[in-house]
Amino acid sequence: MKVIQTTILGVVIIEPTVHSDKRGYFFESFKTSDFQAHGLPTHFVQDNQAKSTKGVLRGLHYQLDYPQGKLVWVSAGKVMDVAVDIRKESPTFGQHVSTTLDNKNHNRVYVPPGFAHGYYVLSETAVFQYKCTDYYHPEDEYGLNWNDPGIGIKWTNGDKLVSEKDNAFPNLEDMDPNLLPPYSG
């Protein structure tokens, strides 16, 4: 496996070594020793899966009191995946990383705690999966406006199907600083 550091420290793209032949393909999707060797978390407590149709945009979500690191990937279809650094006093505060995840390249992205995360479905359907370093607590869910002009995410063209809850999240500049995670440097 190859680990690629993005423009924001801690957010990494993980390229598995895929072995293909006329029968199909094989790759190791998670191996504790490989993750340890690259300084990545190996303790995940919850796996989640979501199936969505083209145009669905989910996010940008985060947990504050129970922050989650997320190992994310797509097992069917194609999405635009986004992580936004919302850690107070972080040198990359308000910056984002975006990448395409699909079932052809099999890449994964590790999004550390302290980031808002979301994705936009580019294919007819997509199955999005992720492992979390902490449990989901519905009372601790927060979010950031997916279309915040101050962050400037260049979402792929097309209609966006967004939940009422996600549409109601504030822009980063309007958020109560007490509802943003700390930066621990």
* Grouped pLDDT means (10 residues each) for the chain, 185 residues: 96 96 93 96 97 97 97 98 97 98 96 98 98 97 97 95 97 97 90
Catalytic residue among 61, 96, 106, 117: 61
- Encoded tokens for 14: 């993980």
Q: Is 130 a catalytic residue?
A: yes
Calculate the CA dihedral of residues 166, 168, 93, 15 and round it to 10 degrees: 10
Topology (CATH level 3) of domain 44-179: Jelly Rolls (2.60.120)
- Bond from prior residue into 60 cis (ω within 30 degrees of 0): yes
Q: CA–CA separation, 60 vs 147, rounded Å?
A: 9
Radius of gyration of the chain (CA): 16
pLDDT at 27: 93
| Domain parsing of the chain, residue ranges | 44-179
Catalytic residue among 62, 120, 130, 142: 130
Q: Strands 24-26 and 19-21, how do they pair?
A: antiparallel
> Assign residue 130 a region: left if phi > 0, alpha if psi is -120 to 50, beta otherwise?
beta
- Specify the residue for token string 């500049």: 173
pLDDT at 101: 98
